[in-house]
Amino acid sequence: MCKFQCGARWCAVGRFTPDFPYPSDRKLQANRPRNLHLPVVNPDAAGIDVGSKSYWVAIGQDAEDIREFGVYSEDHQELCRWLSKNSITSIAMESTGTYWQILFSALTAYGFEVILVNGRQTKNVKGKKTDIKDCQWIQKLHCLGLLSHSFLPDSTTEIIRTYSRHRQNLIKQTGQTVLKVQKYLRLMNM
């Protein structure tokens, strides 16, 4: 408190009170090295960078912990076997276009806990962006528990959603077709 008993840490006279650190003390505190460690939440985690031609999978941060797999069914089975052989239980992958859907189904059918992640959560890789860096970054974030699930509807909702979107597309095409017929009739002077 100030010597005038005003109750403020900063006195109206312009002096610091004894229990408040001076600005020079704050600078010294900011320059001290800090040891910041995040606890590993998912030790048996993998990260997958999904692409149209291949999947890059990281189960650790070393070069031997990264592999590339193809996009076909036999490649999915090989990927699942490799992950189970390495005792992986939880997998995080980016939702890239529609390429993730078949792999997601294969991994969940094999019994893995799969987390689908929005790409905005994983875009902080510095330097040149490569598939290898991406899958390592996803794996690291997932190990530390820093990724959140994207919403995935259940199968019934997904079926209803697909039918509804198909119906909307048919209605839109019908309207466009009617407009084209009217245009052609007008051009033919009918």
Q: Is residue 111 part of a domain?
A: yes
| Residue 61, pLDDT score | 87
Residue by residue, pLDDT tens for the chain (190 residues) are 455 555 555 555 555 555 555 555 555 555 666 666 778 888 899 999 998 899 999 998 888 999 999 999 999 999 999 999 999 999 999 887 888 989 998 999 999 999 999 877 777 656 667 878 888 999 999 888 888 888 888 889 989 999 999 999 999 999 899 999 999 999 998 7
Q: Is residue 190 part of a domain?
A: yes
Domain that holds residue 13: 1-30
Residue 11 structure tokens: 């006195």
| Residue 11, pLDDT score | 52
Give the count of domains, the chain: 3
Q: Can you give the pTM of this predicted structure? A: 0.67
Q: Is residue 36 part of a domain?
A: no
Calculate the dihedral angle through the C-alpha atoms of 172, 174, 176, 179, rounding to the nearest 10 degrees. -140
Whether 190 and 134 share a structural domain: no
| Residue 32, pLDDT score | 60
| Residue 130, pLDDT score | 80
Whether 124 and 84 share a structural domain: yes
Whether 114 and 174 share a structural domain: no
| Residue 110, pLDDT score | 92
Q: Give 57's strand partners.
A: 48, 67
Which residue, 67, 60, 37, is CA-closest to 143? 60
User: ∠ at Cα 92 (162, 38), nearest 5°?
Assistant: 145
Query: What CATH number does residue 139 fall under?
Result: 3.30.420.10
| Residue 18, pLDDT score | 53
Cβ atoms within 10 Å of 109's Cβ, excluding its own: 10
Q: Is residue 163 part of a domain?
A: yes
Q: Is residue 150 part of a domain?
A: no
Yes or no: say if 83 and 59 are a contact pair by the CB < 8 Å rule: yes
